[in-house]
């Protein structure tokens, strides 16, 4: 074995091979792949995956990964044998709810540029003659879905990588990773030691074990998943081709099917979650006996699914189960993959919890990321650093991974919160919110009031339009009343869940300046809204930076990834400290025309417009509570974000609530908050823009100062500016104000699916249904007519001048 190399990849499953293929295609030559099992039927999850590739997914990222993979599997071959079969995929609906949801999925597919169509039961049966068409209401057909031959694709990619210089060693177990000064130095194996500065762990469900070698927590759990091949099916007699029928999903029963030659494969998620400890997995598979990723089949768990299979595909009644398994693969707390570099050990990367469907896309993304620092698609939902610290606990990982197993094929509403473990994180205002009848949803573990039942009386005399069933879930007309009352008087919004960091030290200003697009060298007491870009000028986050002192900044962020990004860019000289202060602080937004009267009534400090201008920050006291007040508002009203330490939070709320009674104060929930910010045109990172967009396209050019010093992404941004926008984020209003959409719906321009909705809400002040959307630049003019598809129906909408509410900023600057 080599004494040294530039990169070691651990694992030659589909992910490891895809990473090796893409790294070498990007010019890397010294690549060594180590696999504890034999090449390429190595005994991991890839070895027995039947290879179904359904591309439709609520996540654009996952669909993009799958789309790329499907194309690549089709190109790969081994000795003339293809690695991909584009036979199409059908998801059938048995229940009315599922049929209705398939219309939404058809919309999702269209939004993400995936061709699909809804077909009748008879059309389904034409494509899959075994189907009992009387059992179903129809199906969603995706012509480009199909089958991947996982093991064959491993070999194909390994051959390509080998031609470019990579070395693959089977039956070589990685036993340790040496680090020095926070960097990878070498990999130890049972066959010797290799010096390297870069390790990419593609160890699948063994990932936590490899992670532990460098002290990194890898939040995944191997789960058993049942799969069986039948004996030959009479109706398929004589069929010798690998696969001709489209792959089939039966989500009402959490099942999937594929044909292979003259028999059928049946997979199910209908059974109980059966987790396994990563430490209990075998490691010494040598190509004989049982693979470590297969456990004893438990027929009693499979029985209901087998019954269902024979109802959906009656010709299976004459077949038997032939090869059966409880196969193992990885699940994570939110069902997404785990990609990225260790926070603490430079040069240690992971790419785990990845399906065959997404593996080749992941291979490309990882190679781009490692090579240039920037993946070409938004990977926020796959970034291993997206999790909060509590999600590293074994109890959480287990509970949530079991849930994500149960939900693999469920209909998940975009607002649906996790059910367990709850309540997990609660702001100091939580007891009062409960008293006010808060309807809580959950985000990043936080209990967040969506609306308050106590505000029901506010409905009197208001005409809040009702919603259809889907948009009306996790919603109440009270939302509309809270929205309007915020604009009429004053409301308290719990902003505690906002990620906050303190950045301090003599190098703090220069550090923040380098990471952001704005000009931050302002006197203490000023606040700036600015952007963090990646090196390709994609928007990594939008943040507010409050300068509280010469060397002291408080930064409002979008999540744990922002902290990780900052930490990664810290200068090595100790001149800057970044501290996540979220859990130790709380924040209440006091917003509305009477906000000043309310806050001033509690303070000796001067909250007048002259003394405390817009986008300023001050330390002050509200009665006995020391606060940091930032004069800004995400809802477009006069007011302040008021921060204090968690211990004083309840007191702060009580003071505001009591004094607020004279001003008609209400508590407002997240749903009103969201509608207010959309009406005001304020973007939400993640929904409205991601790293796939530049600031000019997103309408955030005002937050960019190109004439100042250098910042991450500046060079690329200049280039992007020269090239002009590739698409634009626009505000549209649906012509029919009764139609309220949810986000992610396709947008049709001149009869062509050309964009998608990002955020949407009913604007209870402007009295219109609003949908922000990405559209081609030529359709971005105010007045342009587009159509938004919602559950299969297209609704006309018009691009509007934004912001719809208070464009002159009279409210906020009052
Ligand atoms: C029954 C079943 C059905 C499935 N069906 C589908 C499907 O239809 N479609 C789909 O997209 N996905 C499917 N999956 C999921 C899919 O198989 C996996 O998600 C995918 O194969 C994971 O690939 P991987 O490369 O990450 O992991 P693996 O294939 O497990 O590869 C990891 C490799 O790392 C090696 N390794 C671990 N530790 C070490 C070490 N210390 N030293 C050296 N090597 C090490 C292992 O031996 C292993 O070969 C299915 C899974 C199962 C079990």
**Exposure of 305 by Cβ count < 10 A (0-12 exposed, 13-18 middle, 19+ buried)?**
buried
Tell which residue, 374, 641, 692, has the closest CA to residue 494.
Answer: 641
Per DSSP, the residues of 529-597 read EEEEE-TTS-EEEEEEEEEEETTEEEEEESSHHHHHHHHHT--TTS--EEEE-TTTEEEEEEESTTHHH
Sheet holding 348-352, edge to edge: 167-169, 31-34, 7-10, 199-201, 348-352, 338-341
| pLDDT confidence of residue 496 | 98
Gap between the Cα atoms of 295 and 327, Å rounded: 6
Residue with the larger pLDDT of the pair 283 and 512: 512
Query: Of the listed 225, 271, 450, 795, which one is catalytic?
Result: 225
Looking up tokens 């910042």 gives 711
Distance 78 CA to ligand 1 centre (A): 20
- Relative to the CA of 285, which ligand 1 atom is closest? 47
* Residue-level pLDDT at 403: 87
Answer yes or no: are the C-beta atoms of 254 and 267 closer than 8 Å: no
Q: What are phi and psi of 678, to 5 degrees?
A: -70, -40
CA–CA distance, 469 with 474 (Å, rounded to integer): 10
pLDDT, mean of residues 565-574: 96
Best of 39, 41, 49 for a ligand 1 pocket test (most atoms within 8 Å of beta carbon): 49
The verdict on the CB of residue 14 being under 6 Å from ligand 1 is yes
Q: What tokens does 334 get?
A: 């939110």
289 pLDDT band, cuts 50/70/90, is confident
Pocket lining: 227 vs ligand 1, CB cutoff 6 Å = yes
Distance CA 242, CA 552 (A): 64
Does the beta carbon of 356 sit less than 6 angstroms from any atom of ligand 1? yes
**Ligand 1 within 6 A of CB of 17:** no
Q: Per the structure block, which two tokens stand in for 58? A: 């609520």
Kindly report the protein residue whose alpha carbon is nearest to atom 5 of ligand 1.
Answer: 49
Q: Is the dihedral of CA 141, 472, 728, 555 positive or negative?
A: negative
Handedness of CA 99, 334, 33, 374 (dihedral sign): positive
N- to C-terminal Cα distance for the chain? 72
pLDDT, one tens digit per residue, over 617-635 is: 999 999 999 999 999 999 9
267 pocket-lining for ligand 1 (C-beta < 6 Å): yes
| Confidence (pLDDT) at 418 | 84
C-beta of 207 in contact with ligand 1 (< 6 A): no
Residue 46 C-alpha to ligand 1 middle, in angstroms? 4
pLDDT of residue 411: 84
Helix (H, G, I), strand (E, B) or coil at 2: coil
**Is the CB of residue 560 below 6 angstroms from any atom belonging to ligand 1?**
no
Ligand 1 close to Cβ of residue 384 (< 6 A): no
Average pLDDT over residues 659-670: 98
376: CA distance to ligand 1 center in Å?
24
State the distance from the centre of ligand 1 to the C-alpha of 227, rounded, in angstroms: 15
DSSP 56: -
Q: How confident is the model at residue 408 (pLDDT cuts 50, 70, 90)?
A: confident
CA 328 / ligand 1 centre spacing (Å): 8
User: CB of 19 closer than 6 A to ligand 1?
Assistant: no
Task: Please give the structure tokens belonging to residue 101.
Answer: 């949801």
507 lines ligand 1 (CB under 6 A): no
Centre of ligand 1 to C-alpha 543, Å, is 38
Please calculate the CA angle 676-682-684 and round it to the nearest 5 degrees: 100
Ligand 1 centre and the CA of 11: distance in Å? Answer: 9
Nearest ligand 1 atom to alpha carbon 37: 47
Ranking 146-155, 401-410, 558-567 by mean pLDDT, the lowest is: 401-410
Ligand 1 near 168 CB (within 6 A): no
pLDDT digits (tens, 9 = 90+) for 580-607: 999 999 999 999 999 999 999 999 999 9
Bridge partners for 381 per DSSP: none
Would you say residue 1 has pLDDT above 90?
Answer: no
What is the predicted pLDDT for the residue at 611?
Answer: 97
In this prediction, residue 464 has a pLDDT band, given cuts at 50, 70 and 90, of very high
Supply the pTM of this predicted model. 0.97
Residue whose CA lies nearest to ligand 1 atom number 25: 13
| pLDDT score for 410 | 83
- Residue 419 confidence class, pLDDT cut points 50, 70, 90: confident
Q: Is residue 640 lining ligand 1, measured as CB closer than 6 Å?
A: no
What's the average model confidence in pLDDT over 222-239?
97
- Ligand 1 pocket test, candidate residues 22, 44, 89, 324, most atoms within 8 A of CB: 44
Q: Which residues lie below 8 Å from residue 271, measured CB to CB, with a gap of 6+?
A: 226, 298, 301, 302, 305
Please state, in angstroms and rounded to a whole number, the distance separating the CA atoms of residues 513 and 712.
9
Query: Strand, helix or coil at 398?
Result: helix
327 ligand 1 Cβ < 6 A:
yes
Q: How many percent of the chain have pLDDT more than 70? A: 100
Atom 31 in ligand 1: residue holding the nearest Cα: 13
The answer to whether the bond into 421 is cis (omega within 30° of 0) is yes
* Tokens of residue 666, six digits: 């209400």
252 CA from centroid of ligand 1 (Å):
26
The 10s digit of each residue's pLDDT in 420-463 is 899 999 999 999 999 999 999 999 999 999 999 999 999 999 99
- Cβ 69 under 6 angstroms from ligand 1: no
Stretch among 38-52, 187-201, 279-293, 506-520 having the lowest mean pLDDT: 279-293
Nearest CA to ligand 1 atom 35: 11
Cβ neighbors of 322 (< 8 A, separation 6 or more) are 228, 229, 230, 231, 263
Please work out whether the CB of residue 329 comes within 6 Å of at least one atom of ligand 1: yes
Ligand 1: which of 1, 9, 10, 11 to mutate, most ligand atoms within 8 Å of CB?
A: 11
H-type alpha helices, 3-89? 14-25, 60-75
Pocket test for ligand 1, best of 13, 68, 384 (most atoms within 8 A of CB): 13
- Cβ of 449 closer than 6 Å to ligand 1, yes or no, is no
* 542 annotated active-site: yes
Which residue's C-alpha comes closest to atom 26 of ligand 1?
A: 204
779 is catalytic: no
**8-state DSSP, 377:** S
Q: Does any ligand 1 atom lie closer than 6 A to the CB of residue 627?
A: no
CA-227 nearest atom, ligand 1: 1
DSSP state of 689: B
Beta carbons within 8 Å of 598's beta carbon, 6+ residues apart: 490, 590, 656, 659, 660, 663, 665
Over residues 555-577, mean pLDDT? 97
pLDDT in tens, 744-769: 999 999 999 999 999 999 999 999 99
Q: What are the C-alpha distances in Å from 575 to residues 346, 519, 563, 711?
A: 20, 20, 17, 18
Of all atoms in ligand 1, which is nearest to the CA of residue 205? 30
Residue 795 CA, ligand 1 centroid: distance in Å: 43
Residue 352 C-alpha to ligand 1 middle, in angstroms? 9
> Ligand 1 pocket, 46 CB below 6 A?
yes
**Ligand 1 within 6 A of CB of 35:** yes
Task: Read off the pLDDT of residues 98-142 as tens digits, 9 standing for 90 and up.
Answer: 999 999 999 999 999 999 999 999 999 999 999 999 999 999 999
Q: Enumerate the β-bridge partners of residue 443.
A: 446
**pLDDT of 301 strictly over 90:** yes
What's the token pair of residue 381? Answer: 């939902």
- Based on the residue annotation, tell me whether 682 is a catalytic residue of this protein: no
pLDDT tens digits for 475-495?
Answer: 999 999 999 999 999 999 999
- Cβ atoms 571, 514 nearer than 8 A: no
Annotated catalytic residue, options 73, 85, 256, 269: 256
Measured from the CA of 175, which atom of ligand 1 is nearest? 41
Task: Tell me: pLDDT of 291 over 90.
Answer: yes
Mean pLDDT, the chain, whole residue set: 97
Q: Could you give the CA distance from residue 630 to residue 634 in angstroms, rounded to a whole number?
A: 12
Query: How far apart are the C-alpha atoms of 729 and 432, rounded to whole Å?
Result: 38
Catalytic residue selected from 64, 262, 383, 542: 542
């Amino acid at each position: 074995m080599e004494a040294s190399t530039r990169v070691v990849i651990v694992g030659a499953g589909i992910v490891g091979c895809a990473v090796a293929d893409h790294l070498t295609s990007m010019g890397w030559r010294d690549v060594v792949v180590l696999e504890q099992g034999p090449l390429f039927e190595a005994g991991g999850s890839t070895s027995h995956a039947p290879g179904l590739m359904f591309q439709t997914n609520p996540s654009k990222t996952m669909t993009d990964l799958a789309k790329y993979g499907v194309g690549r599997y089709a190109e790969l071959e081994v000795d003339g044998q293809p690695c991909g079969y584009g036979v199409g995929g059908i998801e059938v609906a048995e229940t009315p709810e599922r049929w209705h949801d398939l219309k939404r999925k058809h919309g999702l597919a269209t939004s993400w540029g995936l061709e699909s169509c809804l077909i009748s039961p008879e059309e389904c049966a034409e494509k899959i003659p075994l189907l009992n068409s009387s059992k179903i209401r129809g199906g969603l057909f995706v012509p480009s879905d199909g089958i991947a031959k996982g093991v064959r694709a491993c070999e194909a990619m390994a051959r390509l990588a080998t031609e470019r210089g990579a070395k693959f060693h089977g039956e070589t177990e990685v036993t340790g990773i040496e680090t020095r000064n926070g960097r990878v130095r070498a990999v130890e194996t049972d066959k010797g030691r290799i010096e390297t500065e870069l390790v990419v762990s593609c160890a699948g469900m063994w990932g936590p074990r490899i992670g532990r070698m460098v002290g990194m927590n890898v939040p995944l759990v191997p789960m058993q998943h049942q799969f069986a091949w039948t004996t030959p099916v009479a109706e398929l007699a004589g069929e010798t081709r690998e696969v001709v029928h489209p792959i089939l999903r039966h989500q009402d029963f959490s099942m999937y099917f594929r044909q292979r030659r003259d028999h059928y494969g049946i997979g199910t998620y209908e059974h109980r979650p059966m987790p396994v400890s990563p430490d209990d997995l075998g490691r010494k598979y040598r190509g004989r006996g049982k693979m470590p990723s297969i456990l004893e089949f438990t027929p009693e768990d499979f029985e209901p699914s087998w019954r269902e299979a024979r109802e959906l595909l009656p010709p299976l009644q004459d077949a038997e189960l032939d090869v059966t398994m409880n196969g193992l693969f990885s699940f994570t707390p939110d069902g997404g993959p785990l990609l990225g570099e260790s926070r603490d050990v430079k040069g240690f990367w992971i790419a785990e919890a990845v399906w065959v469907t997404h593996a080749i896309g992941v291979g490309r993304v990882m190679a781009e990321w490692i090579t240039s620092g920037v993946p070409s698609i938004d990977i926020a939902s796959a970034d291993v650093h997206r999790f909060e610290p509590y999600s590293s606990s074994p109890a959480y990982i287990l509970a949530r991974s079991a849930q994500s197993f149960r939900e693999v094929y469920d209909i998940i509403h975009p607002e649906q919160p996790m059910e367990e473990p709850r309540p997990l994180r609660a702001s100091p205002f939580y007891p009062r919110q409960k008293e006010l009848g808060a309807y809580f949803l959950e985000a990043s573990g936080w209990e967040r009031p969506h609306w308050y039942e106590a505000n029901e009386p506010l409905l009197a005399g208001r005409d809040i339009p009702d919603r259809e069933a889907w948009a009306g879930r996790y919603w109440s007309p009270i939302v509309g009343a809270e929205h309007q009352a915020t604009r009429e008087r004053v409301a308290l919004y719990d902003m505690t869940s906002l990620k906050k960091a303190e950045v301090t030290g003599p190098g703090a200003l220069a550090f923040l300046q380098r990471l952001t697009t704005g000009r931050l060298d302002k006197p203490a007491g000023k606040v700036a809204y600015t952007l963090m870009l990646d090196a390709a000028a994609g928007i990594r986050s939008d943040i507010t930076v409050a300068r509280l002192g010469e060397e002291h900044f408080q930064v409002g962020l979008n999540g744990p990834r922002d902290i990780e990004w900052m930490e990664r860019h810290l200068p090595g000289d100790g001149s800057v400290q970044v501290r996540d202060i979220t859990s130790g602080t709380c924040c209440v937004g006091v917003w509305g025309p009477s906000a000043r009267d309310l806050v001033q009534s509690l303070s000796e400090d001067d909250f007048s417009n002259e003394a405390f201008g817009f986008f300023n920050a001050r330390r002050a006291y509200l009665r006995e509570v020391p606060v940091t007040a930032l004069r800004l508002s995400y809802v477009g009203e006069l007011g302040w974000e008021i921060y204090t330490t968690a211990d004083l939070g309840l007191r702060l709320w009580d003071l505001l609530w009591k004094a607020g009674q004279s001003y008609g104060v209400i508590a407002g929930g997240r749903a009103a908050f969201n509608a207010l910010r959309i009406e005001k045109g304020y973007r939400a990172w993640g929904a409205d823009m991601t790293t796939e967009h530049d600031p000019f396209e997103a309408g955030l050019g005002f937050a960019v100062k190109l004439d100042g010093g250098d910042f991450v992404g500046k060079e690329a941004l200049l280039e992007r500016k020269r090239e002009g926008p590739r698409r634009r984020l626009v505000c549209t209003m649906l012509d029919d104000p009764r139609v309220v959409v949810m986000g992610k719906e396709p947008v049709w321009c001149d009869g062509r699916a050309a964009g998608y909705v990002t955020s949407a809400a009913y604007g209870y002040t402007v009295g219109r249904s609003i949908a922000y959307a990405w559209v081609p630049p030529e359709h971005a003019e105010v007045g342009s007519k587009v159509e938004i598809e919602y559950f299969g129906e297209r609704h006309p909408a018009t691009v509007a001048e934004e912001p719809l509410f208070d464009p002159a900023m009279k409210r906020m600057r009052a």
